[in-house]
Amino acid sequence: MAFNWIISLRTKVITIVSDIFLLLALTFQLFAQDQNVALTIHLRGVIESKISILALSDSRTFKPILEINAKGNGDAVKLTVPKQKLPGEFVLRFDYREKESSTPYPSEKYFFINDQNLELWANPMYCNNVDSIYFQKDERENMAFTFFSKENGMHKEKLGPLQNLLLNYDDTESKFYQQGIKEYEHRRQSYNQWLQTKSIQDSALFVSHLYCFQYVPEIPWKGSETERIGSLINHYFDNMDFKDPLLAKTSDMNKWMDAYVNLYGQLCTTATLRDSLFPMAGKTAIEKAKQGHPLVYGWMVDYFYRGYETNGIMAGMKVLDPYLNDSTCLTSKRQEIARRLKGMETLVTGTIAPNITMKDSGGNLFDLYELKTQCKYILLLFWSAGCSHCMETVKVLYPWQQQGEMQQKIQVVAISLDETETEIKAYRQQILQHKGWLHIRAEEGVRSKVASDYFVLATPVMVLLDAKTKIIVANPNTLNELMTAIK
């Protein structure tokens, strides 16, 4: 049985972990490059294309971080990949039109970025042909990975036939079979030694952190199939360096763990056995990762959280309790808390507020920077109809702001972080009772872009802006503080 790993973790108000500051500096310094990376793309072979850069996310999917429209006349377009995303795995997506009359058609190229500025020549129609999409001659990461993949395939070819022979041969007591075992073991060890050598040779490159997933563990050629699977499970983590934080930045880590879980799945013959073995799989893997880097430890807990939640394995969820409460375990949730706590330091009085572009409750496009109002101030209110503290604040804020003088001074933009059906129903009722405010709902709640841009950890949050300049005037925590800030 294979897990279908799909993120369904939903939280609206993020709880602040009191001792997260112990790991705050560690989280941000690990992957921080000294500078952004410039990516220059020469587009050819098509009339035009929208070019998107997608980065690997915490949910192990690729999400857009940059977009640009380009003409296909060979002119160079430049994108800047933010240092916070580096090093990492990316997808370069083209939504191109071959002719003026063509409808957009997609193509994608998987690639790596570390600390080197890149220049790329691309014909989107032949996106994965080496003569149609290529980097400058001195490019390091992708060239090294291409060479590694080619050599790796050649080495694996020497192992595959022997492994198939040993798995299917009928006379396991024959001298021929015993000689096959010796030959296979010799080649397995030689292959693993080659992997180690390549890892050392390319140690300065991000891609070298993917090589370890190719390691071939020892296979016992005697005993039942169940005994062989058990041996593979016992030796699965033999060559893995969980102290390497960059493991958490790879997509192969997810595939590698899927293969591990599926070994347990092969042993499951009943639902009861499944609910026993899969929690065991999680505990074993997490305990191994716990001895390594906090980011890898946190990644492993996230991985099993998604699997247990998606498959409804409550026994597995109980296994995770002590790890989820461990402050040294840097799950994606804790990393997001740390990022937002640090980000709060930037949203101070005198700075320009991040722009907000979303659809309002009437279906119209809202753009904060384009918002024109006769009021002196704009109040951004992040709230939720499912939050009692929010409702207490709104109950007092609305009648006060609706007074003649205040109504002329303050334009309220109420940004709802409601997510569940019950909350959304309550939200729709509330906006009918609070006319005069501009209402917006961020569909992904605290996980939405606007909540992330404003580093919202919990609701309600108020940000008072100068209506003309969009400069932050105050970050009032209470209505009294808001009243004091209004001049």
Cα distance between residue 309 and residue 324, in whole Å: 14
392-406 average pLDDT score: 92
The DSSP symbol for 352 reads B
17, 20, 21, 24 alpha-carbon torsion, rounded to 10°: -140
pLDDT of residue 23: 47
381-385 average pLDDT score: 93
Query: 156-198, pLDDT tens digit by residue?
Result: 888 888 888 888 888 888 999 999 999 999 999 999 999 999 9
468-484 average pLDDT score: 93
Range among 2-16, 19-33, 47-61, 93-107 rated most confident: 93-107
Cα distance between residue 75 and residue 92, in whole Å: 18
Question: What CATH topology corresponds to 32-135?
Answer: Immunoglobulin-like (2.60.40)
Cα distance between residue 85 and residue 65, in whole Å: 9
Task: Considering only residues 134 and 2, tell me which one the structure prediction assigns the higher pLDDT.
Answer: 134
pLDDT of residue 446: 84
Cα distance between residue 486 and residue 372, in whole Å: 19
436-456 average pLDDT score: 90
State the DSSP string of 24-79: HHHHHHHS--SS-EEEEEEE-SSSEEEEEEEEE-TTSSEEEEEEEEEESSS-EEEE
pLDDT of residue 440: 94
Q: Can you tell me which residue has the tokens 């957009």?
A: 104
Q: Would you place residue 32 in the very low, low, confident or very high pLDDT band (cuts 50, 70, 90)? A: low
The strand pairing partners of 41, in sequence order, are 77, 120
> Which residues of the chain form CATH 3.40.30.10?
346-485
Average pLDDT, the chain: 88
CATH superfamily, region 346-485: Glutaredoxin (3.40.30.10)
Q: Would you place residue 31 in the very low, low, confident or very high pLDDT band (cuts 50, 70, 90)? A: low
Write the burial class of residue 381 (CB in 10 Å: 0-12 exposed, 13-18 middle, 19+ buried): buried
In angstroms, what CA-CA distances link 460 with 388, 407, 418, 445? 10, 21, 12, 13
> Which residues of the chain form CATH 2.60.40.2190?
32-135
73-77 average pLDDT score: 84
pLDDT of residue 243: 96
Q: Would you place residue 21 in the very low, low, confident or very high pLDDT band (cuts 50, 70, 90)? A: very low
Q: Would you place residue 420 in the very low, low, confident or very high pLDDT band (cuts 50, 70, 90)? A: confident
Q: Would you place residue 464 in the very low, low, confident or very high pLDDT band (cuts 50, 70, 90)? A: very high
Query: 318-366, pLDDT tens digit by residue?
Result: 999 999 989 899 998 888 877 788 888 889 999 999 999 999 888 899 9
In angstroms, what CA-CA distances link 136 with 45, 117, 142, 143, 418? 19, 10, 11, 10, 47
Q: Would you place residue 14 in the very low, low, confident or very high pLDDT band (cuts 50, 70, 90)? A: very low
Cα 195-198-204 angle, rounded to 5 deg: 130
Please tell me whether residue 453 adopts helix, strand or coil conformation: helix
Helix (H) or strand (E) holding 423: helix 421-433
- From first CA to last CA, the distance across the chain in angstroms is 65
State the DSSP string of 218-255: ----SS-HHHHHHHHHHHTTTT--TT-GGGGG-SHHHH
Cβ(297)–Cβ(330) under 8 Å? yes
pLDDT of residue 333: 83
Query: 197-233, pLDDT tens digit by residue?
Result: 999 999 999 999 999 999 998 888 887 888 888 888 9
Neighbours of 255 (CB within 10 A): 11
pLDDT of residue 398: 94
pLDDT of residue 295: 94
Query: 86-115, pLDDT tens digit by residue?
Result: 999 999 999 999 999 999 999 999 999 999
Query: How many Å separate Cα 194 from the centre of its chain?
Result: 31
Say whether pLDDT at 454 is over 80.
yes
Start-end of H helices in 127-224 = 141-168, 175-201
Query: 276-328, pLDDT tens digit by residue?
Result: 999 999 999 999 999 999 999 999 999 999 999 888 889 999 999 999 989 89
Whole-prediction pTM value?
Answer: 0.75
Query: 241-285, pLDDT tens digit by residue?
Result: 999 999 999 999 999 999 999 999 999 888 888 889 999 999 999
Q: Would you place residue 475 in the very low, low, confident or very high pLDDT band (cuts 50, 70, 90)? A: very high
Closest by alpha carbon to 44, among 77, 12, 13, 17?
77
Cα distance between residue 475 and residue 482, in whole Å: 8
